[in-house]
Amino acid sequence: MYRYKNLAPEKQRELLHHRRICGLPLHEPPHFADGIRTYHIAAACYEHRHVLNTSARRTDFAETLMASLEAIDGPELFAWAILPNHYHLLIRCNLDQLRPALGKLHNRTATRWNREDGTPGRKVWFRFTDRFMRSDRHFMATVNYIHANPVHHGYVESATDWPWSSLHQWLEQYGREKLVALWHAYPVLDMGKGWDE
């Protein structure tokens, strides 16, 4: 929906009409909860602004995010990465429990950062998107995508140089050789094209 404001008024009306007919929310991503499933969650700062713009803020957000997830009944976090303007999770959970937890997390962090930055009322987060995993291949390609995201966005040349990611835990558990093999076996291809830019 970021592109919505750049559309001509006629195209905006067509898009909203289509979303009404399909029963989708007009100005936010739809969420289709279906019990406990494995989801790729992506949440971006509003207009992809770099609000998580310091190492300390990313570290604090990682800790706050993990504490928020631990407060939910039974989630299993497989992969994650936090960048200056968005984050990714690969998590098995009940989306109906995750949604309010992320809402509270976003509200708390937005309030704190706006106080720190002297920007009261600034919109920090633009909700989140979810996509459930359809196969083992989809799952592993998503793991690779999440871990490669800091390189994809040009923050580092090697994913191992980005400390705000679960890649380091995967390396410790499986070793570099196994992860390289998984990278070749489950390529990212064009995942994220058009929405993670």
Classify each residue of 147-167 as buried b or exposed e, where b means 16 or more C-beta atoms within 10 Å of its C-beta: bbbbeebeeeeebbebebbbb
pLDDT (tens, 9 = 90+) of the chain, 197 residues, equals: 456 567 777 777 766 655 565 454 555 555 455 668 899 999 999 999 999 999 999 999 999 999 999 988 889 999 999 999 999 999 999 988 999 999 999 999 999 999 999 999 999 999 889 998 988 999 999 999 999 999 999 999 999 999 999 999 999 999 999 999 999 999 887 665 555 55
Q: Which CATH number fits domain 35-185: 3.40.50.1000, 1.10.1060.10, 3.30.70.1290, 1.10.10.10?
A: 3.30.70.1290
Domain-wise residue ranges, the chain: 1-30, 35-185
Give residue 1's pLDDT: 42
Give residue 88's pLDDT: 97
Give residue 190's pLDDT: 65
Q: Dihedral (C-alpha) 49, 54, 57, 62: value to the nearest 10 degrees?
A: 90
Give residue 188's pLDDT: 86
Measured CA to CA, the distance from residue 33 to residue 30 in angstroms comes to 10
